[in-house]
């Protein structure tokens, strides 16, 4: 396969990234300062683009119930965020104010900045006790922040299910830890959080998995915490919210959200790796 002659010198200096697509074939991606060249060994195709080009990688879409992408379906004023899963689980900003759309955060793609704002989903996003939440986010909390405690990304907490709600977020700083329902890092464990997120201000991929016999948290595709048993049954009858602790106007997310995917099943380790590979390729993450 021949490369265009004007790309040869840049190609020689490029950083080679070897990715495995969701279809199981290897692709060699060469990113230069001028072009993104994708060489697909399966179809023999070269694609050049000034921004992120399609790598052939895609997230797991089976049993997907929510898919929010900051570069798709997001109102320019942050008032609404359209679900890309096809189920219509759209998010709408609460009356207190809209989050801010920030351009060019990773790889030229936008993000949604939250700092006291939140969004609500009209329909239940999770309806089964087995589920998975995946999010690419940045936690900007530091010692000068007004809240260095609980900070939720996704939650259905309500006064009626305060002990049986679903939520995924962080807590504390230096180190920043994770809470995934009260069973993992929450009330059942003394509100201590679990694991550690190094340099959360640089962004991270957080995955919470609730299975029939176990529950786990992954950070950037690597196992961060294993509960060793299933999460006790959750009350899923209440509304889900983005960037605050459910209907409680507090525990706000302080930072950006680039993408979130929610599933009605517990993803396998292989599927988790597929999602991480997709997000890393799309957003040019290390």
Fold of 64-283: Jelly Rolls (2.60.120)
Q: What angle do CA 28, 32, 38 make, to 5 degrees?
A: 30
Query: What average pLDDT is seen over the chain?
Result: 85
Q: Please report the sign of the dihedral spanned by the C-alpha atoms of residue 69, residue 173, residue 208, residue 269.
A: positive
pLDDT digits (tens, 9 = 90+) for 235-247: 999 999 999 999 9
- Return the structure tokens found at 89: 């689980």
Does residue 124 have a pLDDT over 80?
A: yes
Is pLDDT above 60 for 181?
yes
Confidence band, pLDDT 50/70/90 cuts, at residue 9: very low
Q: What average pLDDT does the segment 142-158 reach?
A: 97
Confirm if 152 and 168 have CB atoms less than 8 A apart: yes
The residue-averaged pLDDT of 38-54 equals 33
Q: What is the pLDDT of residue 40?
A: 30
pLDDT for res 56 = 81
What 3-state DSSP class applies to 141? coil
Asked if residue 10 has pLDDT above 60, the reply is no
Q: Is the dihedral of CA 68, 28, 13, 15 positive or negative?
A: positive
Instruction: Give 70-113 pLDDT, tens digit per residue.
Output: 999 999 999 999 999 999 999 999 999 999 999 999 999 999 99
The segment(s) of the chain belonging to CATH 2.60.120.200 are 64-283
**Mean pLDDT (whole number) for 163-190:** 98
């Amino acid at each position: 396969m021949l490369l265009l002659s004007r790309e040869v010198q840049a190609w020689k200096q490029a950083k080679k990234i070897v990715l495995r697509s969701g279809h199981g074939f290897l692709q060699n991606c060469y990113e230069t300062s001028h072009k993104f060249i994708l060489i697909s060994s399966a179809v023999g195709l070269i694609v050049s683009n000034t921004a992120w080009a399609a790598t052939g990688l895609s997230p797991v879409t089976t049993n997907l119930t929510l898919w929010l992408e900051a570069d798709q379906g997001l109102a320019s004023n942050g008032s609404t965020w359209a679900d890309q899963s096809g189920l219509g689980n759209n998010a709408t900003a609460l009356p207190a104010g809209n989050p801010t759309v920030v351009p060019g955060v990773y790889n030229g793609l936008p993000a949604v900045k939250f700092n006291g704002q939140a969004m609500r989903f009209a329909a239940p996003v999770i309806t089964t006790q087995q589920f998975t939440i995946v999010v690419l986010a940045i936690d900007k909390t530091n010692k000068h922040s007004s809240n260095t405690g609980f900070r939720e990304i996704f939650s259905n907490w309500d006064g009626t299910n305060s002990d049986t709600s679903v939520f995924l977020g962080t807590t504390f700083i230096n180190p920043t830890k994770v809470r995934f329902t009260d069973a993992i890092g929450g009330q059942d464990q003394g509100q201590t959080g679990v694991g550690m997120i190094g340099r959360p201000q640089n962004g991270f991929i957080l995955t919470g998995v609730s299975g029939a016999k176990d529950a786990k948290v992954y950070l950037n595709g690597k196992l961060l915490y294993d509960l060793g048993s299933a999460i006790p049954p959750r009350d899923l009858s209440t509304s889900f919210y983005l960037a605050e602790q459910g209907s409680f106007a507090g525990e706000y997310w302080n930072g950006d959200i680039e993408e979130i995917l929610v599933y009605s099943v517990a993803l396998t380790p292989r599927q988790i790796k597929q999602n991480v590979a997709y997000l890393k390729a799309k957003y040019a993450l290390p």
